[in-house]
Copies of this chain bind each other. A is one copy, B any other.
Amino acid sequence: MDHHARARMLETPLSVDACIDAVKHQGAGAVCVFIGCVRDHTLKEGAGGTPGTVAVVKLDYEAYADMAEKVIGAIVVEAEERWPGVRGFVQHRTGTLAIGDLAVVIACSAPHRAEAFAACRHVIERLKEDAPIWKREHGDDGVTWVGLGP
């Protein structure tokens, strides 16, 4: 199974066009692209549990790159097997990202839109569960590892 053909960890800016080109073909009538980018705020459990927003300055993305490509590649294969006719490709960024920078681009093509949407959504949800990738958030409340909680 060639993960490398389906998932790439990059230390350089991502390319939406490259991801589309990787999956587009004459039999595909639909391509769904998901782009995750660095937002300027995040929700934080404030003191006393009241949800507040925290301004984000930048994010450092770290990855266990080889495993991440394997895991994400396998997730794309999962989607291709579950929705026949789908082709998927993912780029994920590592390093320090500013607000607005692209952290992940997922492109899924299919003959019809239903499968393209479903596969694309599947990949981002599963990626967030299993891809060995972490982000350190530099917010105005200090620096924290996302997902580690208080």
Q: Which of B36, B113, B120 contacts A29 (CB 8 A)?
A: B36
Which residues on the B side are within 8 Å of A117 (C-beta)?
Answer: 34, 117, 120-121
Q: Report whether over half of chain A's contact residues are helix, strand or loop; otherwise say mixed.
A: mixed
A39 with B16: CB separation less than 8 A: no
Q: Which of B27, B31, B38, B41 contacts A35 (CB 8 A)?
A: B31
Query: Count of chain A residues with Cβ under 8 Å from any Cβ of B?
Result: 29
Which residues on the B side are within 8 Å of A136 (C-beta)?
Answer: none
Which residues on the B side are within 8 Å of A26 (C-beta)?
Answer: 39-40, 99-100
A37 to B33 alpha-carbon distance, docked (Å): 13
Q: Which of B27, B111, B113 contacts A124 (CB 8 A)?
A: B113
